[in-house]
Amino acid sequence: MRNSMQSGVDILSRQLNSPLEKIQDSLLEEKEIELYIKRDDMIHPEISGNKWRKMKYNVIEARQSGFDKILTFGGAYSNHIYAAAASGKAFGLQTIGVIRGEETLPLNPTLNFAKSAGMELKHVSRSEYRNKHTDEFVSKLREEFGDFYLVPEGGSNAFALPGVKELVDEIDVDFDIICAACGTGGTVAGICAGLKTGQKAWGFPALKGGSFIYNEVDRLLKEAKLPSSGNLELFTEFHFGGYAKYKVELIEFINAFKVKHGIPLDPVYTGKMMFGLYENIKKDMLPKGSVVVAVHTGGLQGIDGFNERYGALIE
Ligand SMILES: Cc1ncc(COP(=O)(O)O)c(C=O)c1O
């Protein structure tokens, strides 16, 4: 991965303070919008973005409860699987990744990394994977692997939210809107937990039919015993055909954004969020003078796998 701010165990106890970069752009000038990017992609070379934020209190909880093993779930290109494997390596925990779909060899760049970081990979069929959180399935996994600390798919559980909230607390500009890409909803739920009066969260689901995230956010906030937030708005039209699907205009946007601002975006999450935010700005959905923060939730490891599947689209 591209950038590294800190590494090692010390980041478990420290505030990360990822950089906040101001974006200069003629559209933003014309619309009188101040836009900042919270560069969580720079947190750690391998445990980047929302993944580190969501893993932090899970790792602490696993250790405090005496576990030496984490088991989690994900697709074959999952940013979460990549980060969970790296967390295990960095913090001395064994990791097991239950992967959706049969194994294909050679392993793609994500799984290859996970394996080299020491993660044990267990491939299950797509139909088995659907039962991943049932007691029966988890008991079978315990029979096979012994006791483990379970982290759900995407790392989204009650322990994920306080870690994500910390990123909002780090922001030292008085913003009106904070934006994030959504998959399972854990990240935007943690962001909602950090909002002050008058501030809003905008979520951009990366998959089709993303309005289920409203319920997920409520459920996660309740589970984490955090006050529910009515300040979330989801923009569900920027999925580009679905999870890990793309259209040429998205690829052009991502490549142009990197050339113009020197900031890489991934095609599965952050590219879609930034594209959607720019569309909303073009449509005058924000009053002049608004201050906006877009969270760069990482995901850059996925570019290699994406380019391998679709041709070298992302520069
Ligand atoms: C890079 C990136 N951004 C955003 C998200 C969305 O996070 P969440 O699943 O918490 O909604 C994910 C993954 O899930 C991700 O990998």
Tell me the backbone φ, ψ of residue 302, rounded to 5 degrees: -70, -15
Eight-state DSSP code of residue 248:
H
**Range in 1-5, 219-223, 270-274, 304-308 with the lowest mean pLDDT:** 1-5
* 248-261 helix and 270-282 helix, angle to the nearest 10 degrees: 90
- The preferred substitution site among 79, 178, 234 for testing ligand 1, maximizing ligand atoms within 8 Å of CB, is 79
Regarding whether 39 and 54 lie in a shared domain, the answer is: no
Q: Is 228 a catalytic residue?
A: no
Distance CA 37, CA 179 (A): 9
* Mean pLDDT, the chain, whole residue set: 93
Neighbours of 244 (CB within 10 A): 18
Task: Tally the domains of the chain.
Answer: 2
Identify the domain boundary among 137, 155, 173.
155
For the CA of 299, the nearest atom of ligand 1: 1
Q: How far is the CA of 196 from the centre of ligand 1 (A)?
A: 23
Sheet holding 34-38, edge to edge: 20-23, 34-38, 291-295, 177-182, 200-205, 232-234
Would the pLDDT of 78 be above 80?
yes
CA of 30 to the centre of ligand 1 (A): 31
Q: What is the mean pLDDT of residues 171-180?
A: 98
pLDDT at 2 over 50: no
Q: Is the pLDDT of residue 284 over 70?
A: yes
Q: Which of 92, 206, 221, 69 is nearest to 144 (CA)?
A: 69
Contact 44, 6 (CB under 8 A): yes
Categorize the per-residue pLDDT at 4 as very low, low, confident or very high, splitting at 50, 70 and 90: very low
Does 315 map to a domain?
no
List, in sequence order, every residue forming a beta bridge with 259; answer none if it has no partner: none
Q: Do 204 and 90 share a structural domain?
A: no
Which of 18, 48, 78, 229 does the annotation list as catalytic?
78
Q: Specify if 203 maps to a domain.
A: yes
pLDDT at residue 30 in the model: 98
Find the 304 Cα to ligand 1 centroid distance in Å: 17
Comparing 31-35, 112-116, 231-235, 242-246, which segment has the lowest mean pLDDT?
A: 242-246
Among the listed residues 65, 83, 62, 66, the one whose alpha carbon sits nearest the alpha carbon of residue 74: 83
More confident residue, 12 or 6: 12
Verify that 39 and 73 share a domain, yes or no. no
The lowest-confidence range among 12-16, 37-41, 262-266 is 12-16
Output the CA 313–ligand 1 centroid distance in Å. 21
Q: Residue 158 corresponds to which amino acid?
A: A
Name the residue at shortest CA distance from atom 13 of ligand 1: 183
| Domain C-terminal end among 155, 177, 197 | 155
Using alpha carbons, list the distances in angstroms from residue 33 to 143, 198, 253.
55, 17, 19
Mean pLDDT value of segment 34-45: 94
Please state the atom number of ligand 1 nearest to the C-alpha of residue 54. 10
Q: Which structural domain, as residue segments, surrounds residue 255?
A: 9-46+161-310
pLDDT in tens, 87-101: 999 999 999 999 999
Residue 220 tokens read as 């996660």
Averaged pLDDT for residues 172-185: 97
Mean pLDDT of the region 170-194: 97
At residue 3, the pLDDT reads 36
What pLDDT, in 10s, does the model give residues 225-237?
998 767 999 999 9
For residue 10, the one-letter residue type is D
What spacing in Å lies between the alpha carbon of 50 and ligand 1's midpoint?
Answer: 7
The CATH number that applies at residue 77 is 3.40.50.1100
Q: Among 1-15, 79-93, 230-244, whose mean pLDDT is lowest?
A: 1-15
Shared domain for 78 and 138, answered yes or no, is: yes
pLDDT at 7: 42
How far apart CA 228 and CA 189 sit, in angstroms, is 9
Residues 125 and 187 grouped into a single domain: no
- Which ligand 1 atom sits closest to the C-alpha of 203? 11
Distance CA 159, CA 259 (A): 37
The H or E element spanning position 140 is helix 135-145
Query: Can you give the pLDDT at residue 8?
Result: 46
Three-state SS for 18? coil
Measured from CB, residues less than 6 Å from any atom of ligand 1 are 49-50, 79, 154, 156, 181-188, 266, 269-270, 297-299
Q: Choose one of 184, 216, 296 to mutate for the ligand 1 pocket test, by most ligand atoms within 8 angstroms of C-beta.
A: 184
Smallest CA-to-CA distance from 116 within 144, 88, 79 is with 88
- Whether 266 is in a domain gets the answer yes
